[in-house]
Each structure stands twice: as C-alpha cells, then as structure tokens.
Amino acid sequence: MKNITVHNYNINANLKKEITICHISDCHLTEYDEFSTKEEIDFANQQTLHWQKMRHSFATGYKESFGGDATIPACVHLDNLLKVSEKSDCLVFTGDMFDYMSGANIRALEGRINKLKKPFIYVCGNHEIPSQFPDDLSISVIKQELQIVDLGEVIIVGFDNSKREITPSLFKRIKQLQKGGKKLIIAMHVPIVVEGNTLHQQTSEYFKFNYPNCPQINLDFVNFIKESKNIIALLCGHLHFSNNVDISQHTRQFVASQGVAGHINVYNLK
Ligand SMILES: [Fe+2]
Ligand SMILES: [Fe+2]
C-alpha cells in the first residue's frame, strides 16, 4: 500500500495453529471535527504542523520512511494501517495514538475501534491520560490495570507503563499468568533497554523503562522477563523508530516505528 511500511516478522512459538498479530503505535492523531471549538481547531493545526516536522525528523534520523508526503494526515495513515491489519487475529496498539487529549481525537479513534471485528489491546502512552476517557467507550479499556486477550495457545497482556512504572500488584498478576503455561506476549509503551542495543542506549532516559537509578521493581520486572520461558515477545512503541532486540534466548522485544509516518508491524506466530 502506498506510503505504508509493513514490517513483517516471524515468531516461532511451536504453535499448532498460526496466529497473526498487527501492532500499531504512536499515530499522534491531531484531529478536529464539527464539535471542536476554535481554540481546539487552532491547537490541532499547530500540532499537525509540529508532527509533520517531527515524523520527518525521526524518520531521517533513523533512516526510515516518513510515509511519503509529510502533509498526509495521521488519521489517513491510521486508516491505511487498519486496512493492512484486516486479516489479522488481533490488533495491539502500544500508545500515543493521540498527540493530546481532546474530544475530537477520542471520537476519531473510538469510531475506528468500534468497526474492528477482532480483539484488541490498547495500552496507554505518555500522551494519553486514562482518567480523561469517559467510562462507556471501547477505548476506555485503557483504564484497566491489565488487559488480557486470550488467543488460545497465546495470551497477550497489556499494561500502562508510560510513566516508566509498574505496581507490585500488577507485577504479581503478570507472574501468575505466566505460570499458566501458555505463551505470553506483553504489550507496553516504553521499551526495555538491553546491553548492546546501541541505538536505544543512545536515547535519553525518557525512552527507557529500566533507566539509570530506576526503582528496583523495574529491574526485577526486566529480570523476570529474561528468566521466563513462556514470554515470547514484548511489543512496545514510544521510540518512533523500529528497534528489535533479543531480551533473552526465549524473548524478543519489538518496538514498532511511528504510525504517524505509516509504519506497522505484522507478526506471524507459528
Ligand atoms: Fe510517541
Ligand atoms: Fe511516547
């Protein structure tokens, strides 16, 4: 599809039945509609211009496609990404789907999510504020402490680590799920930095879940992932460039590049 970059990956998990998962991140929608005030429209236009520059800056900095014409609206890219994902079994959104909280952004995304005919996970990014989502929307799953999609042989769990934190109770729940014996995929916004992953190491603390002098529980969580044989993948966003690394011999972390520039990851689990 024009202006869209599909990153295809195979994940070997010894499954009896293949599963396809699509992963979209960081679309940074800057929408306005007929219900928006003049101030909201002005702000949306300002942020649209900002992301025309930012998407280009990230893409050129990391030698990636910026999605053709930089003036293509984020929601046009998103519609194309959703078309690419039509045949998948599950969709994972790893945050910053909005650039900022607004009624128009919520309406734009909710309308699209409501048309999905498949299970999805939507974890919060640092540009989203869960408490500001009305309770009765599909995208309000963002408020759940832990989202779970059971695909049979594989379970996908998603949680909000956008503040680079994990609570003891949430950690305990993930540990319990991992003991169940099924293969597990974890979706979260901020990735784990791993020794030798130079591109990620060179970014600022803001882009790292296990940043220098982070709480011990963050390090414990990283060690738990390294030691688990059931966790097969971590799906993250936030970096705005594609970045994949082995966390251990069992687990690979995939950071999806910026949806605002038309990037999508497609995983074929076998
Ligand atoms: Fe982002
Ligand atoms: Fe982010």
Give the total number of structural domains in the chain.
1
Q: Taking the complete model, does pTM exceed 0.95, yes or no? A: yes
Give 10-residue mean pLDDT values along the chain (270 residues): 96 96 98 97 98 96 94 96 97 97 96 95 96 91 96 97 97 94 96 96 97 98 96 98 97 98 98
Q: Select from 139, 177, 175, 144 the least CA-distant residue to 159.
A: 144
H or E element that contains 243: strand 243-246
Q: How far is the CA of 14 from the centre of ligand 2 (A)?
A: 33
Q: How far is the CA of 16 from the centre of ligand 1 (A)?
A: 36
Are 232 and 250 a contacting pair, CB within 8 Å?
yes
The pLDDT assigned to 70 comes to 86
H-only helix segments in 62-196: 74-84, 103-114, 168-179
Domain of 239: which CATH number?
3.60.21.10
Return the ligand number nearest the Cα of 24. 1
Whole-angstrom Cα distance, residue 201 to residue 192? 10
Pairing type for strands 231-236 and 252-255 reads: parallel
Q: Domain residues for 189?
A: 5-269
- What one-letter code names the amino acid at 152? G
Return the ligand number nearest the Cα of 27. 1
3-state secondary structure of 159: coil
